[in-house]
Amino acid sequence: MTQTSDNVTWLTQEAYDQLRAELEHLSGPARAEIVAKIEEARQEGDLKENAGYHAAREDQGKLELRVRQLTQLLEHAKVGEAPADNGVVAPGMVVTIAFDGDPDDTLTFLLGSREYVSSVLDTYSPQSPLGSSVNSKKVGQKASYELPNGKKTSVTILEAKPYQG
Task: For residue range 122-140, list pLDDT tens digits in order.
Answer: 888 888 999 999 999 999 9
Residues of the chain with CATH 1.10.287.180: 2-79
Measured distance CA(90)–CA(81) in Å, rounded: 12
Fold category of 2-79 in CATH: Helix Hairpins (1.10.287)
Query: Is the CB of residue 74 less than 8 Å from the CB of residue 4?
Result: no
Stretch 100-113: mean pLDDT: 86
Give 93-162's CATH code, choosing from 3.10.50.30, 3.30.465.10, 3.40.50.300, 3.40.50.2000. 3.10.50.30
- Which pLDDT belongs to residue 115? 65
Which residue spans of the chain are classified as CATH 3.10.50.30? 93-162
DSSP element (H, E) containing 109: strand 106-111
Percentage, residues of the chain above pLDDT 70: 88
Taking a C-beta distance cutoff of 8 angstroms, is the pair 41, 50 a contact?
A: yes
Does position 105 have pLDDT exceeding 80, yes or no?
yes
Confidence category of residue 6, pLDDT binned at 50, 70, 90: very low
Paired sense of beta strands 2-5 and 8-11, if any: antiparallel
What is the rounded distance in angstroms from the CA atom of residue 16 to the CA atom of residue 48? 41
| 62, pLDDT greater than 70 | yes
Residue count of the chain: 165
How high is the pLDDT of residue 45? 78
By three-state DSSP, how is residue 126 classified? coil
Local confidence band at 1 (pLDDT 50, 70, 90 cut-offs): very low
Nearest Cα residue to 77 out of 15, 13, 9 = 9
- For residue 27, give the DSSP letter: I
Task: Give 108-125 pLDDT, tens digit per residue.
Answer: 998 887 666 556 788 888
Residue 5 has pLDDT above 50, yes or no: no
